[in-house]
Amino acid sequence: MAWFKNLQNTLKLNTEKKKGIPDGVWLKCKSCSEIIYRKELLKNSQVCPHCSYHFPLSADEWVDIMFDEGTFKEWDKHLQAADPLKFVDSEKYKDRLKRAQTKTGRADGVVTGSGQLNGHSVVIAIFDFGFMGGSLGSVSGEKILRAVEMAIEKRFPLIIISASGGARMQEGMFSLMQMAKTSAAIAKLGEHRLPYISILSNPTTGGVTASFASLGDINIAEPKALIALTGPRVIEKTIRETVPEGAQCAESLLKNGFIDKIVDRREMKKTISKLLEFFQE
Amino acid sequence: MLKENMLTSSGVMMNRELDMAGTATRIDSVTETKAGSKGKSKKNRPEFIDKHTAWEIVQLARNPYRPFTLDYINLIMTDFVELHGDRGFRDDGAIVGGFANFNGEPVVVLGHQRGKTTEEKLRRNFGMSYPEGYRKALRLMKLAEKFQKPVFTFIDTPGAFPGLEAEGRGSAEAIANNLKEMSRLKTPIISVIIGEGGSGGALAIGVADRILMLENAIYSVISPEGCAAILWNDESKAAEAAKRLKISAGNLLNMGIVDEIVPEPEGGAHIDYERTAANLKRAFINNLTELKELSPYLLVEQRYEKFRRIGEYLEE
């Protein structure tokens, strides 16, 4: 397992690089093109102060926003994909994995653990879209399952923050089955009368939307997040139906009745904390 | 058709051998279940070798002359009473279901239904369900639970219908909810993939105690064409994608995703409906007999364990 030792070194080396915001003092908002002072953006939970565009967050940045300082403990950090199909497309799955690991400083795309949110103990799972599009594979499925089982053991509420393109194709049917595995865990959590809050960030699509992300006791979306089973590009390509702008955004889902609330990221911690008080035993 | 007829004659000869292979496969999977072994030990089982290439199997699985859900229901069950609608929006023709009598006992049966004629294909939307179809399926499964009847589901769909209306009425939520509810349903569930098992739309009625698969069926996280389009940006690489995604019954049995392969006559299920149905009926009876010995509590716990251990990862 020498290559794993190498990876561990890379992981250490890259912890400084893992933030999603590019370097530099100033940057341009992707949505309104206004120039923003980097420090100001960071203080603003990475929401554009001019147009409220929500910049994508890495899992670590979510941890900083959601948890009371220094309280978060990560679990199962070194679980890694096994490449059960020995999958190769234009590139080996193993190489894709290595590249994503180097880029994010993470062994795979989901971070799980527990910590304090305004003093409430919670279990959390957070998707890192930067790791192969936050795709759901055996590792993320197993980590979520273990997190749920830990929540049951400790009797803590569960929060999952999704950002995912769906099932990880490179793991074939193993990845599809993670939808069943995670949903079964959520069902079990419910039987133990423990609350589950699902936060859907941009984008949440495919198998993640069609499993645990839609199953929250409370489903919360970030403003304008794309949330879909089949995203607009695939709809247009497969059945040649034109998808109007915003048809699959959080606001439409709220109107159609599939999410409870849209919450601005700057209000997220406060809102979740309020909900947790309601759930308290 | 001539080619198919020619295949029939050799198919009959081959069939006894196929049946025996099928039985052997089943016993292996049952022994494993009883030993309560973890995922890894399935490697001890002799590898099942597919008789065709991946792309040939894709063609067989999608063959329009193959038996569909209603054919099997009529061949292995009696007194089928079809029930309609999700009690919320409409009746989705892409999924059929109802009560039937199987081997002398009342059961709930449901499945995706493709069409045979052009008119029927359109009415059934080529077996691609809207959310209403999944909700109808769940309604029937809940009925089965309430009245303690076993559930049989037939999987045969290219996938959930990828349209805006379906999205707006909550395809994702309907599938997710089925996964959650099926995982705790307090009655035996046996699923069989009879043709194409297309991703979430297939899994939505496939969270079962036993997952059977016809020899020339496929079950995949994404269609080979979709995979080729995304990963190679070239749909003509579909045959290559089919092979690499490992979507055949043999592969999936070896991977521990499905529990048993139901043999088909030489040349495919469409060559001899009765014989294929008879093989399936035998597999249903054997599995149901075993499942009925479990209390509802044990049944649900074993189902949870079954899905809990699916996944391959490294832990340091």
For every one of its 316 residues, what pLDDT tens digit does chain B have, with 9 covering 90 and above? 333 333 333 333 333 333 333 443 443 333 333 333 334 444 456 678 888 999 999 999 999 999 999 999 999 999 999 999 999 999 999 999 999 999 999 999 999 999 999 999 999 999 999 999 999 999 999 999 999 999 999 999 999 999 999 999 999 999 999 999 999 999 999 999 999 999 999 999 999 999 999 999 999 999 999 898 888 888 889 999 999 999 999 999 999 999 999 999 999 999 999 999 999 999 999 999 999 999 999 999 999 999 999 999 999 7
Rg (CA), chain B: 19
Chain B partners within 8 Å of A1 (Cβ):
316
Euclidean distance between CA atoms A264 and A267, whole angstroms: 5
In angstroms, the separation between the Cα of residue B167 and the nearest Cα of chain A is 7
Q: What's the whole-number mean pLDDT along residues A130-157? A: 98
Chain A partners within 8 Å of B231 (Cβ):
89-90, 169
- CATH H-level, domain A56-279: superfamily: 2-enoyl-CoA Hydratase; Chain A, domain 1 (3.90.226.10)
Output the pLDDT for position A23: 65
Question: Which of A1, A85, A138 shows the shortest C-beta gap to B311?
Answer: A138
Residue A240 CB partners (closer than 8 Å, separation 6+): none
Mean pLDDT of chain A: 92
Domain boundaries along the sequence of chain B: 24-33+45-308
Residue B201 CB partners (closer than 8 Å, separation 6+): B112, B128, B129, B157, B158, B159, B160, B161, B175
In angstroms, the separation between the Cα of residue A83 and the nearest Cα of chain B is 8
Chain A partners within 8 Å of B204 (Cβ):
210
Q: Which residues of A159-191 are buried (b: 16+ CB within 10 A; e: fewer)?
A: bbbbbbbbbbbbbbbbbbbbbbbbbbbbbbbee
Question: Which of A80, A81, A215 shows the shortest C-beta gap to B176?
Answer: A215
Q: What's the whole-number mean pLDDT along residues A111-130? A: 98
Output the pLDDT for position B17: 34
Portion of chain A with pLDDT greater than 90, in percent: 83
Output the pLDDT for position B153: 98
In chain A, which residue's Cα lies nearest the Cα of B202?
A176
Output the pLDDT for position A21: 59
ipTM over 0.85: yes
Query: What does CATH list as the number for B24-33+45-308?
Result: 3.90.226.10
Chain A partners within 8 Å of B163 (Cβ):
235, 239, 241
**pLDDT digit string, tens, across residues A14-55:** 444 455 556 678 999 999 999 999 999 999 999 999 999 999
Is the predicted pLDDT of residue A278 greater than 60, yes or no?
A: yes
A198: enclosing H helix or E strand: strand A196-205
Determine whether the interchain pair B176/A139 forms a contact, defined as Cβ–Cβ distance below 8 Å: no
Determine whether the interchain pair B313/A243 forms a contact, defined as Cβ–Cβ distance below 8 Å: no
Token pair 């606001």 is at which residue? A251
Output the pLDDT for position A20: 56
Output the pLDDT for position B230: 84
Output the pLDDT for position B235: 81
Q: How many Cβ atoms are within 10 Å of B147's Cβ, its own excluded?
A: 11
Determine whether the interchain pair A173/B219 forms a contact, defined as Cβ–Cβ distance below 8 Å: yes
Euclidean distance between CA atoms B26 and B259, whole angstroms: 7
Question: Which of B172, B244, B313 shows the shortest C-beta gap to A138?
Answer: B313
Portion of chain A with pLDDT greater than 70, in percent: 92
B contact test, residue of A83, A93, A177 with most B CBs within 10 A = A177
Residue B31 CB partners (closer than 8 Å, separation 6+): none
Output the pLDDT for position A22: 61
Chain B partners within 8 Å of A178 (Cβ):
310-311
In angstroms, the separation between the Cα of residue A39 and the nearest Cα of chain B is 37
Question: Which of A167, A187, A229 shows the shortest C-beta gap to B172?
Answer: A229
B contact test, residue of A230, A253, A255, A256 with most B CBs within 10 A = A230
- A–B interface: beta-carbon pairs under 8 A: 192
**HSE-CB for A152 with a 13 A CA cutoff:** 15
Output the pLDDT for position A19: 53
Output the pLDDT for position A17: 45
Question: Which of A80, A184, A191 shows the shortest C-beta gap to B313?
Answer: A80
Determine whether the interchain pair B172/A210 forms a contact, defined as Cβ–Cβ distance below 8 Å: yes
Chain B partners within 8 Å of A183 (Cβ):
176, 179-180, 183, 207
